[in-house]
Homo-oligomer: A and B are copies of this chain.
């Protein structure tokens, strides 16, 4: 299907994509670039990439498909670095967790070639980053959100959809704005909450003692708190408005529960817990089917 993948960023997301594409027989050759030479060397030795590129620009040279898999804050600089070799025939995609900032950067920097950029967000990941954790199954069965803009080339859009579907993804389209509002609520806020909870416990005089007593509920609840700091710093900052709105709504819901606890309002408390419990018990991952 594709001759050459230009992979910019050979971490968990990019590395997993290259491995999955190779396994599916969808690409002949992967040319990779990473900011860190250690990462590129490891990707080469693992067979994630076939050829090492000395720059992001040269990773794009000769590629018919390009994946930008860098932290969202580095997307703009990456577009700047590669724009002179992007042609109307190159399919360019990203895997960023925020979409408005990425789309804005694409508009500004790819200009006449913005139509070849298809903004993508695979709803997949691990708290373990790095190419050493790359996994060809990472995207299988997951949702893949595409947030096209009015100038996105329909042919590139169709190629991107087919590619992710071939990797086992359920592909959905929505606007960048709708995407960022939704993921502020269901991903960015839970991460910020998990970071805050771990820090709040650790800051107490008996915090280490407390943490040593924690069980399986705490383990699962805080798994995402182990995520990569730079990557999440960038995501939280990139989606700050939606995130702050969601955090405020969440604090209000928490304080409503606090008031029930404080006032000993058993009936209201049971109803509120019952609502959350019912919703969560009946929730199934990846059941979204309509664009919002």
Contacts and interface: CB of A to CB of B under 8 A. Distances in A.
A212 B288 contact: yes
B143 A213 contact: yes
Nearest to A198: B276
Most buried by B among A182, A200, A258, A264: A200
Instruction: Classify chain A: how many residues form its interface, as a range.
Output: 35 or more
Q: How many copies does the complex hold?
A: 2
A206 B193 contact: no
Interface in A136-178: 142-143, 145, 178
Contact of A186 (B195, B201, B287): B201
A275 B187 contact: no
Interface stretch (A22-30, A101-109, A248-256): A248-256
A177 B272 CA distance: 28
B283 A211 contact: yes
Interface string A78-107: 000000000000000000000000000000
A55 interface: no
A270 interface: yes
A218 interface: yes
A287 B79 CA distance: 47
